[in-house]
Homo-oligomer: A and B are copies of this chain.
Amino acid sequence: MEIIVQKFGGTSVRDERLRERVLQHIAEARRTYDGVVVVVSAMGRKGEPYATDSLLDLLEGRGKYLPARERDLLLTTGEIISAVVLADLLWRQDIPATVFTGAQAGIVTDARFGEAQILDVRPDRLRAALERGRVAVVAGFQGSTEDGELTTLGRGGSDITAVALAAALGARRLDIFTDVNGVFTADPRIVEEARPLKYLTYAEVANLAHLGARVLHPRAVEIAMQYNIPVRVRSTTSDDEGTLIASLSELRARAPFRERVVTGIAHVFGVTQIKVVRETVDPELQLVVFRAMAEHGISVDFINVSPNSVAYTVRDEEGERVAEILRGLGFEPIVTPGCAKVSVVGAGMAGRPGVMSRIVEALVGHDIPILQAADSHTTIWVLVPGERAQDAIRLLHRHFELERE
């Protein structure tokens, strides 16, 4: 049985016109595949009554007085409502559909309410529905523990539901429908010439996803990579094929080998750089600083250390608090708020010399200081002052000629 999984986000099901498009994508999939599984998020955005945010707003302080277990119970209703509304549309078009809650779809999780991890997927009931010719409409973002507690998988959790089901069912492909036409070479609101990419490797998209190009939940990418499920990110409102995300070998089989070194530029705004510099070597420095961060539950990123200095970034909202903590420990931190982390991503850069040098060329040549840098085999990150971030992204996009197909 050839199965496809289609995931529709909250904005894809927010009104009748969009749901009509969703219907067309499902009908199209039924012509090509034996089994169609549809995963949906809660309908709409903040302000619409059945959106996740609106449900949270029913609680004082968005649920801060309530245990996470009860908050999760509330949130699971959003996706169930959305799934039933979509199934209703399908039945009206004579497409038989069966709705499954996360629990009924066999999504078994641990009991970490609010950010549960999937432990197992038991898609027997889902498969039985597919075999009876039904479209299976699954409420995303949720699961159930072995003893029947309802859980949610955290924001973006519907992506995880979709890819976990695709893996468990051995699906041919997962289509993630969203409001953009695939994954872009950079944010088109910043770079006018940015264009959707035809192909991306899992590793590339993982780096993009971690870095603010909100295309796909990072855990979803990891599962897709692990089970080798090709994922298409595409627009609900068009028939374009969007971006195909797969392994490098899979992509090579489909397309001529790409000489491209850099694939895209991602960014995260609102980052504060923290630096602590000692005049002499201080063997305790790193230990004291990072232990303090851990004790205060502050997540740190972009770490650069030397024998007499420590530098790292935190979110802008935490910058002042971090500075106070460090001052309380007798340090004199240098705090630079409002920075941007810009990342140059490309599977082709692995083992290729000269990429960092080209980045420096592009930025420093235009008087944009690089406050920090780091690299992995598919990504180079640079930290730049926030007011120069948009320039930096545009310059890098042009420098690596990403506007060219």
Contact = CB atoms under 8 A, between A and B. Distances in A.
Interface stretch (A57-65, A151-159, A268-276): A57-65
Nearest to A55: B81
A141 interface: no
A84 B88 contact: no
Contacts of A76: 80
B104 A84 contact: no
Interface string A245-279: 00000000000000000000000000000000000
A83 B83 CA distance: 21
Contacts of A58: 81, 84-85, 88
Q: Categorize the interface residue count of chain A.
A: 35 or more
Nearest to A48: B49
Number of copies: 2
B84 A73 contact: yes
A103 B97 CA distance: 23
A335 B157 CA distance: 61
B66 A91 contact: yes
A148 to B, nearest CB: 6
Given A73-B99, A150-B101, A66 B80 contact: no
Interface in A183-217: none
Contacts of A74: 80-81, 84-85
A61 to B, nearest CB: 9
